[in-house]
Structure 1
Amino acid sequence: MQNEKINVKDYINIGVFTAIYIVIFMIVGMMGFIPILLFIYPGAIGLACALPIFILISKTRKFGVLSITAVILTLFMLVTGHPWFGILISLPAGIIGDWIMKLGSYKKWINLLSGYCVFSLWVLGGFAPFFFVRENYFKQLEKGYGKDYVTAISSLFSYEMIPVLILVCVIGAAIGAWISRGLLKKHFTNLVN
């Protein structure tokens, strides 16, 4: 029986693969400078960052690993200037995603897929200011990015677009999960069943 406790090797894996995730996240994050691309950003993150998460889960298969990753990513967002209340989305998404994967013992594909899709919703915490402190946030953005950028962002991110952002995120994450599954089966035999 596999040890259920997270050990030093697991923490090292968490650090390595979360660092890789953050690098990919930052590269994809450059999309945000173009307002229309910011709209597909949650899906692009889910797609581009799937492989490090699936390798991490494949190497550890323990509850808490994905949750710790979500905590690190949330702290990263806070340190880089995102509002604190994004935590209200980011942390639950990570913990629930981890729990869903655990229900399938980190081996059942449907649990891995759905758990990763839920985990990927963490990134929507960064969009929370667009909807919850809209006017103040856009005033701050205007100082750094200019009026044209803020006008474009505010027209794209209306309250009606919240379900669309969630859908874009889930679709991107699902595609990333399927691609990762194929790569893991081809290159890392027996890691993902």
Structure 2
Amino acid sequence: MYKRTLFILIIIFSCNIFYAQNINHKMKLGFHYGFGNEIKSNDFSHTNNYYKLQLYYALKSGKNFKYELLMQPELNLATHQLLNVYFIQPDDPNYIEKRQKFSNLRNVKEYVLNLGFIIRKPISKSFSIYLVGSVGPMIIDNETERLSKGFAFSDVLALGFSSKIDKITFDIRPNIRHVSNGGLQSPNLGFNTINIEFGFSFSI
């Protein structure tokens, strides 16, 4: 329950930060849904689907490119299963118990706050492509054989395509995501997923 409360507080705090800067109507608010899978592995399976608020703030418009800040409160719902029990070695304490434990399909919730930077290239008045890189802290509610429960980081690199119809902008955004805890706890092998997300945004 406290994790849900923390996630809601993060969203409220994020909105307050961006509204405080909304002087020249440079902001957009949006929502994205995405899903993906671990880059091919014979040792485990890992799938995820996620929901993101998108809070954009326009920094600068140049002759060829536009630059934006992006804040993304996110709820990520993942499933994980150890496929190769021999991945857990006998020198690991309680290795038999861990093999049995992690061989069962596990649900993992992640509460994330990513901060990103966008470089956007307008192609026409209504269409643009962009690169976005983001990083941020997260809380994981369940452990796996690859990553401990608790605090970790989410890093995302994405290529996006935007199309504006009237006052609404629609996005398609393939991305690569890496999750680990920076060596703060063990284990820390983490996950690498390939995802695609869809969403919309509008000026506020």
TM-score (norm. length: structure 2): 0.28
Q: Give the structure with the higher percent strand.
A: 2
TM-score (norm. length: structure 1): 0.29
Larger Rg: 2
